[in-house]
Amino acid sequence: MKKTLRILCFGDLVGDPGKAMFDKWSSYLKDKHEADTIIVNGENMSKNGRGIHPNDVEFLRERNVSAITSGNHVWAHKKIGQCLQDEDSILLRPANYPSSCPGRGYRIFTIEGIAVAVVSLQGRVFMREDLDCPFKTIDSLLMFLKYRTKIILIDFHAEASSEKKMLGLHLDGQVSCVYGTHTHVQTGDERILPGGTGYITDIGCAGANNSAIGMTKESVMFRFLTQMPSTFKVEKNGEMAMNLLLVEIDVETGKTRHIERIEVIDPEISKTFEEE
């Protein structure tokens, strides 16, 4: 049996640029870092950068992604409800949404006979405060998951760095890794906490580098300057960046042995969209 598992966790893929970056680089990165599997946050994969379509789920399944985490935009497409409910769905919605919502907030899969659990959670600070408490939700869920595996990864889709950090400290020694998504900006605070849990506040995103978290600066700047509503548009020009996290986990203990943030810059991929 393997002594460690190496897992690549990709930040939010934003629109077609994020999807193209993943398509071009994910297989290479998996081979380069000798990763055993891939987890992706896919809630911004749609062409408009908001939500995920069933076709996007199939796109990631075909590329051997083991789990797709999400967040506050998971419900943007009406058809996604059925996709979430499919028995073998790799797409997760945040676990702290009401139990009556379609789908599940966790997935358990195996790598060479080793069980791995992935949990999708959403924060409440500066977001939807009417959701169930993410701290209490994961405490309850762990009572079940710990009977299945020691290897547990949490994607905490949250706005406030303080909320993310507190969840990491709250779960230190209980799970393998807590990593943040949602802000689309990769932070430089990756570490192994005292109890052996890997942690980073946000793993970033995949999309245009010189943009407003993947959207054109013009469409976002209008709202800042006028305080009026505006429709954000996915930036498809210029160099693209893709952020991800490598986590190496001890199979016997479930603790993180190594954590490393990764960034790929691609100045050429935007040419794919020049004819659009």
Hey, which residues are catalytic here?
73
What residues contact residue 211 under an 8 Å CB cut-off, 6+ apart?
Answer: 217, 235, 238
Residue by residue, DSSP assigns 27-65 as HHHHHHTT-SEEEEE-TT-STTSSS--HHHHHHHHHTT-
| Alpha helices, H only, the chain | 15-32, 54-62, 80-85, 134-145, 161-171, 217-226
Nearest CA among 40, 32, 33, 5 for reference residue 242: 40
What angle is formed at CA 159 by the lines to CA 156 and CA 165, rounded to 5 degrees?
60
Per DSSP, 132 falls in state P
Cβ-contact 139, 119 below 8 angstroms: no
With tokens 């949250």, the residue in question is 158
What is the spatial distance between Cα 214 and Cα 116, in angstroms, rounded to a whole number? Answer: 31
Give Cα separations from 17 to 23, 59, 220, 252 (angstroms): 10, 14, 18, 38
Radius of gyration of the chain from its Cα atoms, rounded to whole angstroms: 18
What residues contact residue 273 under an 8 Å CB cut-off, 6+ apart?
Answer: 16, 17, 236, 237
Single-letter amino acid, residue 32 = K
Which long-range contacts (C-beta less than 8 Å, at least 24 apart) are formed by 26-31? 26/63, 27/63, 29/244, 29/262, 29/264
